[in-house]
Structure 1
């Protein structure tokens, strides 16, 4: 299978959001009661599956990101018991982590170009060291809608795509048509490349050093479909190494900055496909830590 070449990266001018110059939500504006009710119709078996992976201190991540977890028993040294009216004891968690590890959502303040982000926001005006003053992930409402998975590995006739292997609009549309998947406005579109299932455990260094994904031309086409979110079973959605002329992660700019479309990384798509569902109701309610750029997530596929 021959995957299409990416398009050259070009300088972009700031274009205000279709939802107004003060908008901070981007494609989350596409969450409506009507779309939620339509998505509910896809729940026919009452089954739910997680789209997030399990992570720990050994999970590879884009450098220098890391995670450290400690379990502690506060004020219980030497077998002390707590005076709760009974001899109480408990465990607590102390977590030190970068948030961009494992399954995650990229917010609109994550990546831009020449100091600008979504809706012409300048980094000098909103990117504070203690948190974003605008476009924090805590502001995103629950993302609920119709989701589809397009199996690009199956379309290529292999278990998984290789690092650097990329696909554009022609391959996406051909795979969707062959698999009976219709892409609609307001959808969450996820790609299955087989990369995480085949590389994360067996070769974690290779997993985090490269990946297959959507090239610039493909991302630009997807963004034109007015989607709620774009994701994949890879840690960055786009191919690494990038195709000649694409620029590393420039698809993030095309989606996040130019269109306000959220990106979903390291989605656990394989089990859902094997359950026979490439169309389902997607539900995400992320942790609401004020001012975050991204967030570790575990969306639910309901079908």
Structure 2
């Protein structure tokens, strides 16, 4: 009886362990790692990226957002500007200052507009990056692991692949997608190389063509990289992958692909950050496809995502 019980228990543990292992893989940076591809930041790579500054110019990669900016439902933003303790012509006397001032109150989802997706954003079968269990990290007050506040400043070489140019049109259509062959062809034609630690951005023309003129259509669909393309790009070990679209992957998804499964491939399986709604249009218009990328996001403890405005230096 005792032997049978121990055998059954051993089998149960073996089954549970094999099932758990099948749902996640320990990070190549160690079982305790929380920053994934940010481990690729180094003084050497930063100095190399700085050499890409040829004209002394800078460009914001974030878009301007407000309460009317469309977002993945139910996300929204509300801003109020207030003048505390100044009703009825009162003057502020705190700290000996008898003047007047404005302050602002912001109620918002931080996954709106230009944003970074942290490694705790999308997972699969209850697990996130580096085998982080949703039951252990997903507190209502903030992630207990994988929070975006942990991410060091992302600094490195960035490249833009103009997929709209590759397909010979101003902008790709919703649901239009590209994979390894198209990415390689576009890179070769445009003289773009991609390497470990790079930030790789795809220009589809979607935001330039749709956000202002048809915001409802803009957020209802998008072109993007398919699952095969995501696995290819992940194999290059970039620091981050982004696009001028609100979700990076195509909506509707490519036939046979899971919806937003590229997020799982990049975030959960490889620890690679995603950058959404990147303002690539102005850089493409200037013929810039390689530059120094600098991002220091707001460090609110436990966040899953964060509104960002990376800077392109070229």
Same fold (TM over 0.5): yes
CA contact (8 A) 2:76 2:108 kept: yes
Spell out structure 1 runs of 4+ moving beyond 3 A: 84-87
CA contact (8 A) 2:23 2:127 kept: no
The aligned counterpart of 2:248 is: 237
Q: Kindly indicate whether residue 75 of structure 2 is the aligned counterpart of residue 65 of structure 1.
A: yes
The aligned counterpart of 1:289 is: 300
Question: For the structure 1 residues 86 and 256, does the alpha-carbon distance in structure 2 shift closer, same or farther, using more than 3 Å as the test?
Answer: closer
Residue 198 of structure 1 and its aligned partner are, at CA, apart by 0.5
Residue 85 of structure 1 and its aligned partner are, at CA, apart by 4.0
Structure 2 SS opposite 1:82: coil
CA contact (8 A) 2:77 2:108 kept: yes
The aligned counterpart of 2:280 is: 269
Name stretches of at least 5 consecutive residues in structure 2 with no aligned partner. Answer: 1-21
Residue 86 of structure 1 and its aligned partner are, at CA, apart by 5.0
Q: What number of residue pairs does the alignment pair up?
A: 293
Distance 1:33 1:40 in 2: 11
Give the alignment of 1:97-108 within 5 angstroms.
97-108=108-119
Q: What do the CA deviations read for 1:193-245 (whole angstroms, capped 9, x no partner)?
A: 00001000000000000000000000000001000000000000000000121
Residue 93 of structure 1 and its aligned partner are, at CA, apart by 0.5
Find the partner of 2:222 among 208, 211, 216: 211
Residue 298 of structure 1 and its aligned partner are, at CA, apart by 0.1
The aligned counterpart of 2:57 is: 47
Residue 276 of structure 1 and its aligned partner are, at CA, apart by 2.3
The aligned counterpart of 2:43 is: 33
Distance 1:273 1:205 in 2: 25
Distance 1:85 1:136 in 2: 40
Distance 2:156 2:131 in 1: 27
Q: Kindly indicate whether residue 89 of structure 2 is the aligned counterpart of residue 79 of structure 1.
A: yes
Give the structure with the higher percent helix: 2
Name stretches of at least 5 consecutive residues in structure 1 with no aligned partner. Answer: 1-11
